[in-house]
Amino acid sequence: MKVSPAGRDLIASFEQGPGGGPALVSYLCPAGVWTIGYGHTKNVKPGQTLPSKVAADMLLDEDVAAYAREVERLIGPAPTSQHEFDALVSLAFNIGIGALAGSTPLRLHRQGKKQEAAHSFGLWNKATVNGQLVPMAGLTRRRAAETALYLTPVSDGAIERVAPMPQEVKPPAGAAASKSVWTNVGVATGGVALAASNIQPAIDAVNSAVSTAKSAQTTWASLKDLLGSFANGHVYTVLITAAITVGAIYLIRRVFKRVRSGEISA
């Protein structure tokens, strides 16, 4: 899990430097630890500086992410809302991962005793001053804020860590067809019938074209037979037939002309 923006803001609000906001110059915190930025203490030395607030914010984000990873490891499989997680990370940021690992809040949280865990945050309101554990007003306020955050109901936006629900990608085997399926079948059948009626004119046109082609093929066959007669040596037969035909036409025309001129009565 990751810390939410609200959790990060809570941590930043309690980790400000002496002048408010991030400390761009290292300083000694009330517990006598050299600190810089937003509560960063690792390898910090006296006189150390940060170039800008942006650098301090980046350092805070790195620290929060590192604490979040460790807190998630310590929580294990215990169901944890976003608000609960943020509160535990804020506590760890302040007291350290080692202290959180043996703390009452973590133990009760892992046992699912959320109310008891929340109220046990207040046990960690002391710091060592001059060798003695002393309650600190700032720590008391911080523990109260963390307790309130921890107890924020899930319905307010916190997200419970749960296993992802498997998604069904196909219907169970043997499932009956629904009404919508049969409706779609009917629509498809009607579409096929409509397509068949629309394609019939095209089929008729094709049949007509086939008939025309057959007729043309017959005419070509006759012409081929006639030409074949020349090719087969029947030239004289063809010429005689043509001469008789032309002569007959000529005689018929002469007869009609004489009938029209009155030389021959009909």
Residue 176: which pLDDT band, with cuts at 50, 70 and 90? very low
Lowest mean pLDDT among 73-87, 89-103, 196-210: 196-210
Residue 31 has what pLDDT? 76
- Of the residues 29, 70, 72, 116, only one is catalytic, namely 29
pLDDT score at 127: 84
Q: Enumerate the β-bridge partners of residue 37.
A: 23
Question: How long, in residues, is the chain?
Answer: 266
H or E stretch covering 24: strand 23-28
pLDDT of residue 237: 52
Helix axes 82-95, 137-150, angle to 10 degrees: 160
Q: In the chain, what percentage of residues exceed pLDDT 90?
A: 52
Provide the pLDDT confidence category of residue 32 given band limits of 50, 70 and 90: confident
Q: Pairing between strand 132-135 and 34-37?
A: unpaired
Judge whether 27 and 17 are in contact, CB under 8 Å: yes
Q: Of residues 128 and 182, which shows the higher confidence score?
A: 128
- Is 168 catalytic? The answer is no
Q: Give yes or no for residue 124 having a pLDDT over 60.
A: yes
Which pLDDT band, with edges at 50, 70 and 90, does 155 fall under? low
Mean pLDDT of the 142-151 span = 98
Region label for 76, one of left (φ > 0), alpha (ψ between -120 and 50) or beta (otherwise): left
State mean pLDDT over 83-101. Answer: 97
143 burial (CB, 10 Å; 0-12 / 13-18 / 19+) is buried
- Let me know if 146 is a catalytic residue: no
Which range is most confident: 54-63, 177-186, 230-239?
54-63
Q: What is the pLDDT of residue 206?
A: 36
Answer for the pair 118, 21: CB distance below 8 angstroms, yes or no.
no
Architecture in CATH for domain 5-156: Orthogonal Bundle (1.10)
| Predicted pLDDT at 262 | 63
> Other C-beta atoms within 10 Å of 64: how many?
21
